[in-house]
Structure 1
């Protein structure tokens, strides 16, 4: 988004009731006849409707689903911050390595959560838009309602929806009118910010075809494996549901495996269980969340599980069905690959065997006949070469 800071800070206005003035001019504009810049609209709960006077070329991101959305829409270069770049960046690129002409340059990007998220970071980065839910921001120690409003008016608007991730209740003050979105509904709203509706629609069709392909081939529920999604750490398993609502489960819910902890009601977004409880559930498949990121060496995880007197008795361990799973903070491109990956991990007899990730490596180069979606089509959409 070219132009001076005054114009960037007029990127968005929140509609509240009556119609609002579209567009703005810089302080150097003195002619009353100056035509306001062309405007467009984007809306998301809990922010509301924004009138935008340009496409952002500095986009503040915390969680990487928004960075993946920006890449998918051809605006990855706009991202100026991201959560744990040394984890998020390589993980995203592990998928992009299978898409000609697509990559994400994360070098030098700051992590806004390193020392606690602060208003000062937003002022320093001077972003055109902040892809963060203000309801989430309100839970951070350094922020109050005035800070949230000031950043939106003086720097750039907020645009995000965090609590759709698990359909959790947002904090007090944001519960009235808080709408929940699927991953792809949220992606469409981000596409409106970048004025990239055509790219979004094209990618959505790829996703719909992939989900339909999976749904058509799933075995009856009685024949599906039991599974858990966990993160293993020092003898404990942080456990997550598979089939609940929320975009954090957008890569497991469509696969419909039988959740070994479906009846567990954890007080937080996850539970913590030990070896004995895991053995009582004894799932057929263990999907290790974050296993496809640089944060975990899956060979070492499997070795520790096998070496434990109880862990070695788990069916998933004995049958070599402990798999590296992806990130829950997934955007649309990541979701396509993670759906394909999880389909193969859960149902190898139906969708083909999963060859496995090499620690630190790219997404496997599957033969064309074993792919569940068209890489060349996705790459062409993202790079703008689609016909």
Structure 2
């Protein structure tokens, strides 16, 4: 139940989580839509294009059991007395981060929880000893202030600069939740380097996926888990970069999403932001050559004119998506059947763009195999079920090491 102004001075049970620094100034395919497009591979390992510089050092006492603080745009410096256990999220890149840091069971809300539970579990199936259950959570695409009070989460791993762009949310509402429930600590406009609005516009910084994950790990006091997963990522990226073919030998590709085959959305693959964290490092050529904006609806004729060597189908790994049926629809249509990717059997399933570190590892591996099978090994023909079994010698990252990190065995 919403607390009125007479109760704003009362302390909740979350007195141990507080803002420091006074810096709050400033549909289903959300995992593959909501664009108005904002790079280099450095965007996912460091400060990207130079527009952001992460502060990973705590500003207060960081000894075990002591208070500590972490700084992230746009919320500024947030002080904690102890690590959060229950976590509100809005988008799945934050839910994946909490999961990677051993807080998967503490998530209280996320966008389209049943859909993304099904999708993420396709990948988690390949992590021994790890499980995930997001079914039945509060769906937070358009959260209500009253529900945030009811959830009473220890931290809101969500971007207040985006929340205030929603109807019924004001700057004062953001401050009220931070004061009476728990802090905001998240950055989402880095997805495509989206422009902030209002009071957030002046000092907003953009982060790469793993750069932001490091800050979230600091907030949860999970440095060891982060470092282990970051080491896996670094090794994977080094493997890819060492063997990546020269630009002249790279295929043309498009990334699409389609609730049904009659309405096709397309998305860029090399632009800045963490939504391209699994494609930009691989450097495929845009089959549209920049002529089609991200999140555009295209017809079959436009797709044929681009004639990509590879089609990456977002959401194709989701359990309710029938990839065999999707491929057949392309093969049987007189227009799309002439596309090189269709003729050569290179229409591949993908997961989601709002990826956190765990999904990013899998999607880097699968996309490398889909784009460059002669270099990184063939991607198995996928129709349904979990992420395919890849022979150990052909895996590009160590599943057991990732599992151990999630479970805290580091």
**By the TM > 0.5 criterion, same fold?**
yes
RMSD: 1.8
**How much does 1:99 deviate?**
1.2
Match of 2:14 in 1: 8
**Counterpart Cα distance in 2 of 1:11 and 1:75:** 17
Structure 2 match to 1:93? 121
On the 8 A contact 2:310/2:346 being kept in 1, the answer is: yes
Aligned partners of 2:400 and 2:261: how far apart in 1?
41
Aligned length: 361
Q: Please, which of 296, 304, 307 is the counterpart of residue 329 of structure 2?
A: 304
Is 1:349 the equivalent of 2:374? Answer: yes
Per-residue displacement from partner, 1:1-54 (whole Å, max 9, x unpaired)? xxxx7241441213138xxx989xxxxxxxxxxxxx721112210000101011
Alpha-carbon separation, structure 2, partners of 1:301 and 1:15: 52
Moved more, 157-166 or 301-310: 301-310
Distance in structure 2 (CA, Å) of the matches to 1:14 and 1:273: 47
1:320 deviates by: 0.7
Q: How far, CA to CA, are the matches of 1:146 and 1:356 in structure 2? A: 51
Q: Is the 8 A contact 2:100 2:357 kept in 1?
A: yes
1:56–1:78 CA contact under 8 A, matched in 2: no
Say which SS state the counterpart of residue 121 (structure 1) adopts: helix
- Bigger shift: residues 214-223 or 300-309: 300-309
1:117 aligns with 2:123: no
- Structural mapping, 1:22-61, within 5 Å: 38-61=66-89
- 1:198-209 correspondence runs (5 A): 198-209=224-235
> Any residues of structure 2 matched to 1:279-294 within 5 Å, and which?
279-294=304-319
Q: TM-score, normalised by structure 1?
A: 0.89
Residues 9 and 128 in structure 1, CA contact (< 8 A), matched pair in contact too:
no
Q: Select the structure with the greater relative contact order (CA < 8 A; seq sep ≥ 6).
A: 2
Deviation at 1:265, TM superposition (A): 5.6
Q: Deviations over 1:177-217 (max 9, x none)?
A: 10000000110111011100111111111101101100111
Does residue 280 of structure 2 align to residue 256 of structure 1? Answer: no
Residue pair 2:192, 2:275 contacting (<8 A) in 1 also: yes
Structure 2 stretches of 5 or more lacking a match? 1-10, 24-58
CA distance in 2, matches of 1:90, 1:357: 16
Comparing 240-249 with 79-88, greater Cα deviation is found at 79-88
The Cα offsets for residues 142-165 of structure 1, whole Å up to 9 and x where unpaired, read as: 211111110111011111111100
Please tell me whether the aligned partners of residues 291 and 298 of structure 1 are also in contact (alpha carbons under 8 angstroms): yes
For residues 72 and 109 of structure 1, what CA distance do their matches in structure 2 show? 18
How far apart, CA to CA, are the structure 2 residues paired with 1:271 and 1:351? 31
- Residue among 119, 134, 140 paired with 1:106: 134
- Aligned mates of 2:180, 2:291 — CA distance in 1: 45
Q: Deviations over 1:231-254 (max 9, x none)?
A: 134423211111111001101011
Q: Structure 2 length normalisation: TM-score?
A: 0.84
SS at match of 2:85: coil
Structure 1 counterpart of 2:408: 384
Deviates more, 1:300-309 or 1:136-145: 300-309
Provide, for residues 268-319 of structure 1, a one-character-per-residue CA deviation record: whole Å limited to 9, x for no partner: x522211111111100000011111235221121122122110111111111
